[in-house]
Structures are given as C-alpha cells and as structure tokens.
Amino acid sequence: MEMPLQHQIMGYDRVASMFSPEGRLLQVEYAEKMVKKGFASIGLICSDGVVIVANKKTYDKLALPETVKIFEVDSHIAATGSGMLSDARVLIDRAQLNAQQHRVTYDEAIDVESIVKEIADLKQMTTQFGGARPFGVFIIITGINPDGVKKLYVTDVAGNYFAYKATAIGENDKEIKDELEKRYKDEISVDDGIKLCLDILKKVLKKQFDIRRIDGSCIRSKDKKFMRLSQEALKRYAK
C-alpha cells in the first residue's frame, strides 16, 4: 500500500523508531517490501529430518559453486534468507558465533530456538533505537535439537519469529505457500520433501526455473548433520 504523502512530509518514515499517527513503523514496512523482491526459499519439516531449498540470483557461468545461499549455523542447524542477503550474512555470522560459544561453555549443541531468539533480538533492536535501519531480510532457520525434536522458524523484519511445519519466504511466497498447503504432508520424507520443493519452484517460476540457480540442504534425524546437496543430486531430484 502506498504511503500517504503527509507521512513523508512530516518525516514519519525517516527513522525506524518513529511511529506514524496510525501506529505504523514505516521503515519496517519499506524493509518488508525489500524482502518481497528477494529470491524464494522453502523450508520443510519431514518425518526423518528437515529440508531447505533456495533459489539464488541469476546463474552466472563464471561463478564458482562455492557461491551459496544456505548457511550452516551449526552441524545440526541450517539457515537462509530472502531480501538483502548481506544483512542475512551478518545475522547468521552472529548466530554461528553464538552456537560455537554455547558448545565451548556447556559442551553441548545449542537448541534451534535459542539461535532464532538471538537473530530476532538483533532485528528488534533496529526498530527501537535511532541511527540504524531495519535488517531488510526474512530468515528461515531449521534444525534438529539435541533431543531429536525437529524445528522450523521464520524471523521477520521487525524481530518477530514464528514456528512452521512448512513455509516459504521471498518472491512468489504466497503462490508457494498455497502449493505447500495442498501438497505437504506430515509424513513426507526428506527425499520426497526435496522433490516437492523443486516441483513447486518449477511450477511457480515456470521458464525462470534453472536447476543451476538452486541451492539445497538437509539435516537427517539419524545423524543430525548438515548436508549440502550437490548439483548432481539436485538434478536427480528434479527429474
């Protein structure tokens, strides 16, 4: 929705910490528009693990395969973002540090929600204090807790976070979520979950779908280890 001109004249959108007369943080709403322009990412909880499949920027023949969109936060936690990925990288770097410090301090793996809270708290701070803009990124965080419970969360621009069984962020997220509502099942396996994500991206992206632009990862319950999917594996799943 377009912002009323008087809001711009009065300066309600100049800082993230100033509410408009309608009780809106306009800088936060602008940041959410940035997310809608980001490339799509899908997360699933499966019967035997968790899955993230993400669509990257336009494929460049000269780019090396090390260019990824899905990050390993810890061996049992993965994350990806949509929107301004430089913002996502900074937040995920902090999450990785938090996970390492937890292992050193307590000699055990951190639970997924603690990582999510750390990222959400950092996002919330930018909406409360002046001198900084909001992080223009939604982040999917998924993993398997030390007790074996599978988790999937999304953090928004304002610092809220929500738990899901399956969800999508970024461009075309509504169409992808509609497909997930129709086709996702609680008992879906990791292998079938990866296929489902690729099938949905094919359907939604149509001619823009290119397997070379896809980044995928999974964490299986049996070993709780982050595994990045190779291009060869993704091509097999996409058949």
Distance CA 223, CA 113 (A): 20
For 50, residues 6+ apart whose C-beta sits below 8 A from its C-beta are 43, 44, 78, 142, 143, 144, 150, 151, 152, 190, 218, 219
| pLDDT over 80 at 10, yes or no | no
| pLDDT over 60 at 159, yes or no | yes
What is the average pLDDT value for the chain, to the nearest integer? 90
| pLDDT over 50 at 51, yes or no | yes
Read off the pLDDT of residues 62-83 as tens digits, 9 standing for 90 and up.
777 667 789 999 999 999 999 9
Report the pLDDT averaged over residues 29-37: 87
| Count of structural domains within the chain | 1
| pLDDT over 50 at 7, yes or no | yes
Report the pLDDT averaged over residues 198-205: 96
| pLDDT over 90 at 112, yes or no | yes
pLDDT score, position 9? 43
| pLDDT over 90 at 11, yes or no | no
Tokens of 190: 């990791």
Report the pLDDT averaged over residues 205-229: 94
Q: Are 164 and 44 in contact (CB under 8 A)?
A: no
pLDDT score, position 128? 84
What are the angstrom distances between the C-alpha of 125 and each of 15, 73, 150, 186?
Answer: 13, 22, 28, 35
Q: How many residues does the chain have?
A: 239
Report the pLDDT averaged over residues 92-114: 97
Domain harbouring 107, CATH code: 3.60.20.10
| Domain span at 38 | 5-238
Q: Shortest CA distance to 127 belongs to which of 33, 3, 28, 12? A: 28
